[in-house]
Amino acid sequence: MNVQPEAGRAVRYACAVLADCRPASLPMDPCDLAARAGILLVPLSRVDNYPLWVPYDIFDSLRTACAVTVSYPAFCIVFRDDADPERLRFALFHELGHIFMNHYRDFPDIMDPSRPDDPALEAEADTFALNMAAPVPVVDVIRYNRPGQAKSALFGLNRTAWMRRLASIDRDRSFVDEDAANVVLYAFRDYLLGRRCPACGKTFADEEQTNRCPFCGAENPDWIL
Ligand SMILES: [Zn+2]
Ligand SMILES: [Zn+2]
């Protein structure tokens, strides 16, 4: 069976997860998402503690990847302790994408770890990962309002992933309708509106866009972002 990649499905799943998990700030934390979903993340150095989980050679798989999903007896993700944090963030969102989009349930044969990766399912998981780490509406708002801040480091992505984010952003935007965009932006609202008063040092969200510190009245508080 040939699976066709469905970027739209991956983007919509990412939007739904973002609406649900109400992230407080960037960069997005895949460990937080996994914890909310009850998915265990296990560093490779601790795999010895879980002998039941080794139906295939995790160590071999992790020579090239920095995270792999073990689907039996329960879903968990094993990651390399020494992985570069930005690469690991993307890899963990990718693995979570496979789980959230039910790839293991719907395509058990294709997802069997003894088989080579399926390009379509891998592309879907990559699209999910990019849209979790750098959601289109959030990237758009930051690029429009604070263009100097719209860089890979803000989203915790490496340069390669950030280039892929920008290359696919027009396509992915076509899958985010206005309601979905508003829901995602609402989740990031306090973060996007966050200001810090240079006079009294307090932080707040300038919801009404008064451009004044609500504590001491000083004008033009700094943007936190
Ligand atoms: Zn994958
Ligand atoms: Zn103040």
Q: Which ligand is nearest to the CA of 98?
A: 1
Residue position matching structure tokens 């001491």 = 216
Instruction: Compute the residue count for the chain.
Output: 225
* Pair of tokens at residue 166: 């920008």
Q: Which ligand is nearest to the CA of 221?
A: 2
Domain boundaries, the chain: 7-192, 194-225
Rounded percentage of the chain residues whose pLDDT exceeds 70: 95
pLDDT band for 190, please (50, 70, 90 cuts).
confident
Q: What is the pLDDT of residue 212?
A: 93
Distance 152 CA to ligand 2 centre (A): 31
- Arithmetic mean of pLDDT, 207-225: 90
Distance 103 CA to ligand 1 centre (A): 10
C-alpha distances out from residue 196 to 131, 160, 193, 200, 221, Å: 28, 32, 10, 9, 6
Please tell me the distance from the alpha carbon of residue 92 to that of residue 79, in angstroms, as a whole number.
Answer: 8
DSSP string, 31-64: HHHHHHTT-EEEEGGGGGG-GGG-SS-HHHHHHH
Residue position matching structure tokens 């150095």 = 45
Residues with CB under 5 Å of ion ligand 1 are 122, 125
Residue position matching structure tokens 């509106």 = 193
Distance 213 CA to ligand 2 centre (A): 5
Distance 205 CA to ligand 2 centre (A): 12
* Pair of tokens at residue 43: 């560093």
Cβ neighbours of residue 111 closer than 8 Å, sequence gap 6 or more = 71, 98, 103, 104, 118, 121
Could you tell me which of 30, 17, 171, 10 has the C-alpha nearest to residue 90?
30
- The per-residue pLDDT for range 64-91, each reduced to its tens digit, is 889 999 876 778 899 999 999 999 999 9
**Burial of 168 from C-beta contacts in 10 A (0-12 / 13-18 / 19+):** middle
Mean pLDDT of the chain: 90
Residue 92 has pLDDT above 80, yes or no: yes
* Single-letter amino acid code for the residue at 130: L
pLDDT band for 56, please (50, 70, 90 cuts).
low
Residue position matching structure tokens 């968990």 = 76
- Arithmetic mean of pLDDT, 101-123: 91
Q: Which ligand is nearest to the CA of 200?
A: 2
- The per-residue pLDDT for range 154-187, each reduced to its tens digit, is 999 999 999 999 999 999 999 999 999 999 999 9
Q: What is the pLDDT of residue 63?
A: 84
Q: Which ligand is nearest to the CA of 115?
A: 1
pLDDT band for 8, please (50, 70, 90 cuts).
very high
Distance 176 CA to ligand 1 centre (A): 23
Q: What is the pLDDT of residue 225?
A: 80
Distance 50 CA to ligand 2 centre (A): 52
DSSP-based helix, strand, coil % in the chain, nearest 5? 55, 10, 35
Distance 212 CA to ligand 2 centre (A): 8
- Arithmetic mean of pLDDT, 32-38: 91
